[in-house]
């Protein structure tokens, strides 16, 4: 092969096939040609741009005059690639009349080192992921056991506690005239404490059923006003004791909803009793019903201290209590809102705390309005 | 077992480095009720094929590494199914790679398969120093030690490792396997008693089933 032929073959290889960075820079410092590898590698348009416009950084001053004067020196040049990852090339600068030719190669040692590091990190990640998955599974097993235990204990306690409550009620009705004031006070404390204990046990039963996935609801069409009125009646006495007015406002005519009335009553009762507990004496609790976006929305607003923004999501988690002070003597398990959330979600609805409320807290929940259609429910 | 056409579809996805396609194939097989252990035999077969293609210089090392990384992702997706579907038995196994062995995916599959059959498995991963392995054996007192080796050149270090373990724990049952053994007989284990070579996951599964 002649010298000319050899040169042509070498140039052809460098331009078309070589995994080499190659840039031809004219006397004004503009890029006038690159090989295929460079074109496919570097991001953005290279044509007629200054060299410093297409590179990220350079080891030292990018003075072409000086660099082309030392063609045997190797420099590091960082280039922005199309994969958005910077790549480092070991480059050399050669003069070609007034122009400059730049040749660069990837640092093979660095690439090999990086590959090895990546493999090791990937291996470690895989081992750790596996351990994490195993620990998660063990935690799920423990949680299942906890729910089983909670459910069994609550179930076994409910019967004797109910018996104590029933007998205490019986004695309060039948033996009142036989007891002096102090002894009747003892009996009332037994009754009230047992009633609270039964509520706690009911919450434990509910939460263990919910968490073990055994929570079921029985849906049928019903008027939401029925549980609303029932809960208002149920809470009227405790509201009156604090001088709190329970106000029901219906902005829209709510059609019959597909719901489990007993469970929705439980949600309403929880929200209304919470509102009474947190309200100051001689104030009001407002229960408002409306229709928004194909859903019936029920909100319960109090004029208490309100809910701090950071607590809003946390309050619906089991065993969580807010920092807002309740009225003296009021106790809770911190399960009521968690249970309410699950009940509402099982209906395809949503429960939330209204933001931007100037005074007090507004808890609201929505239930989808389903229309009766031929062949099923819409 | 998995249909040949589905296997080839999976293999082509793996060769193309197409994680999504591989995940779709695996999801579809799981939806159809394919057992995780049958999926694992597919993973092993595909990786062995890719290993052979690499040895024949028909694919680059990058393709092989990407295929391994994809397989590890798939194993992470299937593993929770294994954990939730197993009944634990009172048996323990430690699974490890020998020193300098960086191919751990085979060992991981062995650990997962043992767990799917109720064993408690500790997976130590790649390039495990002998001292670390001995410490864990002392702590966990396993019924079995499983050692994996993919690169033939690591055969000598595997031999040394078996010798160290055997001298410390003469009664411990050891099993070995991995792609490195496909080059020939498992001569390295011949000097030792109670060391068994398993040429495939299927053979291991058969043995575990047989012995309960």
Exposure string for A159-188, b = 16+ CB within 10 A, e = fewer? eebeebbeebeebeeeeeeeeeeeebeebe
pLDDT at residue number A152: 87
Point out which residues pair with A87 in neighbouring strands.
Answer: A79
- A88 and A9 within one domain: yes
Question: Do the chains contact at A130 and B124, CB–CB below 8 Å?
Answer: no
Q: Which residues contact A373 (CB under 8 A, 6 or more apart)?
A: none
Tell me how close the Cα of B52 comes to any Cα of chain A, in angstroms. Answer: 20
Q: What's the pLDDT tens digit per position in B46-100?
A: 999 998 898 888 999 889 999 999 999 999 999 999 999 888 999 999 999 988 8
Residue range A238-256, pLDDT digits in tens:
899 899 999 999 988 899 9
CA atoms of A363 and A268, how far apart (whole Å): 10
**DSSP code per residue over A202-228:** HHHHHHHHHHTT------EEE-THHHH
Q: Inspect the interface and report whether the beta carbons of A137 and B69 lie closer than 8 Å.
A: no
Give the Cα separation of A39 and B126 in Å (integer): 39
> Confidence class of residue A147 from pLDDT cuts 50, 70 and 90?
confident
Q: For residue B143, give how far its alpha carbon lies from the nearest alpha carbon of chain A (Å).
A: 20
A240 touching B (Cβ < 8 Å) = no
**How far is Cα A239 from Cα A284, in angstroms, rounded to an integer?**
9
Instruction: Verify that A97 and A8 share a domain, yes or no.
Output: yes
Q: Which pLDDT value is given to residue A52?
A: 82
Residue of A nearest to B84 (CA): A137
**In the predicted model, what is the mean pLDDT of residues A263-283?**
92
d(CA B121, CA B32): 28
Same domain, A42 and A136: no
Q: What does pLDDT average to over chain B?
A: 92
Q: Is the pLDDT of residue A371 over 70?
A: no
* Residues A121, A96 share a domain: no
Place of tokens 């590494």: B65
| Calpha distance B48→B152 (Å, rounded) | 14
- pLDDT per residue as tens digits for the range A306-322: 888 878 778 888 766 66
Q: Is A119 on the interface with B (CB under 8 A)?
A: yes
Contact B110, B62 (CB under 8 A): no
User: Which residues of chain B are within 8 Å of residue A127 when distances are taken between CB atoms?
Assistant: 104, 108, 123-125
Report the CATH number at residue A75.
Answer: 3.30.450.20
Same structural domain for residues A26 and A137? no
Q: What is the ipTM of this complex?
A: 0.87
**Residues 80 through 109 of chain B touching chain A, CB cutoff 8 Å:** 80, 83-84, 102, 104-105, 108
Pair A164, A118 in one domain: yes
Judged by a CB distance cut-off of 8 A, whether residue B124 touches chain A is yes
- Do the chains contact at A123 and B84, CB–CB below 8 Å? no
Give chain B positions within 8 Å (CB) of A106.
none
Contacts of A122 in chain B (CB under 8 A): 69, 72
Q: Mark whether A320 and A246 lie in a shared domain.
A: yes
pTM of the model: 0.68
**Longest CA span, chain B:** 48
How many residue pairs from chains A and B have C-beta atoms closer than 8 A?
42
* Percent of chain A whose predicted confidence (pLDDT) is above 90: 47
pLDDT classification of A103: cutoffs 50, 70, 90: very high
CB contacts of A119 in chain B (<8 Å) are 65, 102
- Residues making up chain B, counted from first to last: 212
Give pLDDT tens digits for A50-78: 888 888 888 888 888 889 888 889 999 88
Question: Which residue, A187, A211, A235, sits at the end of a domain?
Answer: A211
Dump pLDDT digits (tens) for B6-19. 999 999 999 999 99
CA distance linking residue B196 with residue B189, whole number of Å: 8
B199 touches B186 (CB < 8 A): no
B39, two tokens: 């999926």
Q: Is A80 helix (H, G, I), strand (E, B) or coil?
A: strand
Q: Where are the alpha helices (DSSP H) in B95-200?
A: 105-116, 130-140, 155-168
Please check whether residues A15 and A122 belong to one and the same domain: no
B120/A contact by beta carbon, under 8 A: no
With beta carbons less than 8 A apart as the criterion, state whether A303 and A362 touch: no
Name chain B contacts of A133, Cβ cutoff 8 Å.
76, 79-80, 83
- Identify the sign of the CA torsion A164, A166, A261, A357: negative
Which residues from A are below 8 Å from B109, CB to CB? none
A176/A273 same-domain check: no
Look up the domain containing A232 and give its range. 220-377
pLDDT at A261 over 80: yes
Dihedral over Cα of A344, A348, A352, A354: its sign: negative
Smallest Cα distance from A116 to chain B, Å:
9
CATH number at residue A177: 1.10.287
The domain boundary residue, chosen from A106, A128, A148: A106
Residues whose CB falls within 8 Å of the CB of residue B117, separated by 6 or more in sequence, listed in order: B86, B89, B205, B208, B209
Domain closes at, from A106, A123, A152 = A106
HSE value, Cβ hemisphere, 13 Å, CA-based, for B21: 14
Residues A237, A243: Cα–Cα separation, whole Å: 10
pLDDT in tens, B191-207: 888 899 999 999 999 99
Write the DSSP assignment of A365-376 as a string of letters.
Answer: EEEE---EETTE
For residues B169 and B190, what is the distance between their CA atoms, to the nearest angstrom? 17
Strand order in the sheet with A99-106: A31-34, A21-25, A99-106, A86-96, A75-80, A55-58
Chain B CB contacts of A134 below 8 Å? 83
Contact: A120, B102; criterion CB under 8 Å: yes
**What are the b/e assignments for A291-329, b being 16+ CB within 10 Å?**
eeeebbbbbbbbbbbbbeeeeeeebbebeeebebebeee
Pairing of strands A75-80, A55-58: antiparallel
Instruction: Please check whether residues A116 and A99 belong to one and the same domain.
Output: no
Mean pLDDT of A134-160: 89
pLDDT (tens digit, 9 = 90+) per residue, A350-361?
A: 999 987 667 889
**Interface touch B104/A130, C-beta < 8 Å:** no
With an 8 Å Cβ cutoff, are B108 and A130 in contact? yes
Q: How many domains does chain A have?
A: 3
The pLDDT of residue A313: 75
Name which of A13, A20, A169, A147 is nearest A94 in CA terms.
Answer: A20
- How far is residue A69's CA from residue A75's CA, in Å, rounded to a whole number? 13
User: What is the nearest CA distance from A316 to chain B, expressed in angstroms?
Assistant: 28
Contact yes or no for B104 and A126 at CB 8 A: yes
Same domain, A81 and A152: no
Do B79 and A119 lie within an 8 Å CB cutoff?
no
- The token pair at A177 is 């005239």
Cβ separation B76–A129 shorter than 8 A: yes
Per-residue H/E/C for A300-338: EECCCCCCCHHHCCHHHCCCCCCCCCCCCCCCCCCCHHH
Q: Are residues A135 and A62 located together in one domain of the fold?
A: no
């Amino acid at each position: 092969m002649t010298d000319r032929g050899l040169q042509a073959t070498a140039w052809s290889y460098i331009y078309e096939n070589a995994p080499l960075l190659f840039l031809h820079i004219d006397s004004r410092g503009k890029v006038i040609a690159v090989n295929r590898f460079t074109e496919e590698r570097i991001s953005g348009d290279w044509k007629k741009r200054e060299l410093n416009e297409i590179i990220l950084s350079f080891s030292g001053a990018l003075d072409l005059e000086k660099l082309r004067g030392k063609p045997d020196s190797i420099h590091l040049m960082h280039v922005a690639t199309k994969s958005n990852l910077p790549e480092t090339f070991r480059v050399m600068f050669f003069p070609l009349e007034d122009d400059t030719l730049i040749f660069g190669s990837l640092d093979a040692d660095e690439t090999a080192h990086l590959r090895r590091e990546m493999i090791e990190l990937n291996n470690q990640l895989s081992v750790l992921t596996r351990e994490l998955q195993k620990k998660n599974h063990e935690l799920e097993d423990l949680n299942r056991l906890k729910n089983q235990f909670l459910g069994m204990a609550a179930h076994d306690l409910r019967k004797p506690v109910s018996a104590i409550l029933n007998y205490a009620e019986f004695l309060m009705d039948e033996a009142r005239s036989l007891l002096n004031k102090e002894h009747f006070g003892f009996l009332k404390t037994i009754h009230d404490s047992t009633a609270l204990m039964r509520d706690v046990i009911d919450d434990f039963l509910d939460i263990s059923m919910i968490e073990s996935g055994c929570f079921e609801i029985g849906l049928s069409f019903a008027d939401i006003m029925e549980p609303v009125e029932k809960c208002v009646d149920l809470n009227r006495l405790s509201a009156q004791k604090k001088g709190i007015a329970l106000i029901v406002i219906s902005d829209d005519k709510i059609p019959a909803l597909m719901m489990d009335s007993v469970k929705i009553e439980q949600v309403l009762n929880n929200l209304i009793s919470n509102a009474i507990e947190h309200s100051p004496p001689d104030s009001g609790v407002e229960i408002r019903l409306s229709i928004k976006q194909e859903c019936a929305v029920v909100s319960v607003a109090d004029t208490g201290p309100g809910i701090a923004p950071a607590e809003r999501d946390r309050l619906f988690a089991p065993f969580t209590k807010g920092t807002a002070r309740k009225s003296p003597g009021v106790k809770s398990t911190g399960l009521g809102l968690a249970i309410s959330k699950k009940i509402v979600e099982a209906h395809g609805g949503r429960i939330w705390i209204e933001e931007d409320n100037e005074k007090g807290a507004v808890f609201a929940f929505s239930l989808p309005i389903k229309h009766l259609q031929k062949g099923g429910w819409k | 077992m998995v249909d040949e056409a589905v296997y080839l579809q999976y293999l082509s996805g793996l060769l193309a480095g197409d994680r999504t396609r591989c995940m779709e194939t695996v999801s579809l097989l799981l939806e159809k009720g394919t057992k995780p252990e049958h999926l694992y035999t597919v993973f092993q077969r595909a990786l062995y094929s890719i290993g052979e293609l690499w040895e024949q210089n028909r694919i680059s090392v990058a393709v092989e590494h990407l295929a391994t990384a994809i397989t590890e992702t798939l194993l992470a997706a299937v593993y929770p199914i294994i954990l939730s579907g197993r009944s634990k038995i009172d048996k323990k196994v430690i699974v490890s790679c020998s020193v300098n062995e960086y191919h751990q995916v085979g060992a991981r599959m062995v650990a997962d398969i043992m767990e799917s059959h109720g064993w408690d498995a500790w997976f130590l991963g790649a390039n495990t120093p002998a001292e670390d392995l001995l410490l864990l054996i002392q702590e966990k007192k396993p019924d079995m030690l499983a050692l994996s080796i993919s690169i033939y050149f690591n055969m000598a270090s595997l031999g040394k490792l078996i010798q160290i373990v055997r001298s410390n724990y003469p009664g411990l049952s050891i099993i070995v396997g991995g792609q490195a053994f496909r080059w020939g007989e498992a001569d390295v284990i011949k000097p030792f008693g109670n060391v068994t070579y398993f040429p495939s996951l299927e053979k291991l599964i058969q043995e575990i089933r047989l012995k309960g």
